[in-house]
A and B are shown apart, each in its own frame.
Chain A
Amino acid sequence: MAEKNNSIGRLIITLTVIGALGALFLAGVYEWTIPHILEHEARARERAIMEVLPEADYYEEVTHNDKIFYEGYDENDNFVGVAVSLRGGGYAGEIEIMIGTDPEAREIINIFILNHQETPGLGARITEEQFRENFENAPFSELEIVRRTPEEPQEIEAIAGATMSVEAVKNIVSRVGDIVSEYYGGGS
Chain B
Amino acid sequence: MAEYFAIFKNGLWNENPIFKLIIGLCPTLAVTNTVVNGFAMGLATGFVLISSEIVISLIKKFIPNDVRIPSFILIIVTFVTFTDYFLGAFFPDIADALALFIPLIVVNCLILGRQEAFASRNSTRRAIFDAVGMTVGFTWVLVLLSAIRELFGFGTLAGIDILGAGYTDMIIMILPGGAFLTLGVLVGVLNLLDRKVGSDNG
Contacts and interface: CB of A to CB of B under 8 A. Distances in A.
Nearest to A19: B74
9 contacts: A2-B61, A5-B64, A6-B64, A14-B62, A14-B64, A18-B75, A34-B85, A40-B89, A122-B171
Contacts of B169: 121
A119 B67 contact: no
Interface string B96-113: 000100000000000000
Contacts of B66: 6, 11
A40 B74 contact: no
Contact of A119 (B60, B90, B175): B175
Nearest to A28: B82
B174 A26 contact: no
Given A10-B64, A40-B88, A29 B120 contact: no
B85 A2 contact: no
A84 to B, nearest CB: 22
Contacts of B89: 32-34, 36-37, 40
Question: Looking at A19, A22, A32, A117, which has the most chain B CB atoms within 10 Å of its CB?
Answer: A22
Interface string A113-142: 000010111100000000000000000000
B55 to A, nearest CB: 9
B92 interface: yes
A30 interface: yes
Interface in B127-143: none
A22 B77 contact: yes
A119 B171 contact: yes
Given A18-B74, A19-B74, A25-B78, A37 B88 contact: yes
Question: Looking at B61, B70, B85, which has the most chain A CB atoms within 10 Å of its CB?
Answer: B85
Contacts of B86: 29, 33
Size category of the B interface is 20 to 34
Contacts of A15: 67, 70-71, 74
A64 to B, nearest CB: 29
B63 A33 contact: no
A15 B72 CA distance: 10
Nearest to B68: A1
Contacts of B64: 2, 5-6, 10-11, 14
Contacts of B88: 33, 36-37, 40
Size category of the A interface is 20 to 34
B153 interface: yes
A25 B82 contact: yes
A26 B62 contact: no
Given A2-B62, A11-B64, A120-B153, 9 more contacts: A2-B63, A6-B64, A11-B67, A30-B85, A33-B86, A33-B88, A120-B154, A120-B171, A120-B174
B92 A40 contact: yes
Contacts of A29: 81-82, 85-86
A38 B129 CA distance: 37
A119 B85 contact: no
A22 B78 contact: yes
A40 B85 CA distance: 12
Contact of B174 (A2, A18, A32, A121): A121
B60 A1 contact: yes
A1 B120 contact: yes
A66 interface: no
Nearest to B76: A22
A132 to B, nearest CB: 19
B201 interface: no
Given A5-B64, A18-B71, A122-B171, A36 B90 contact: yes
B65 interface: yes
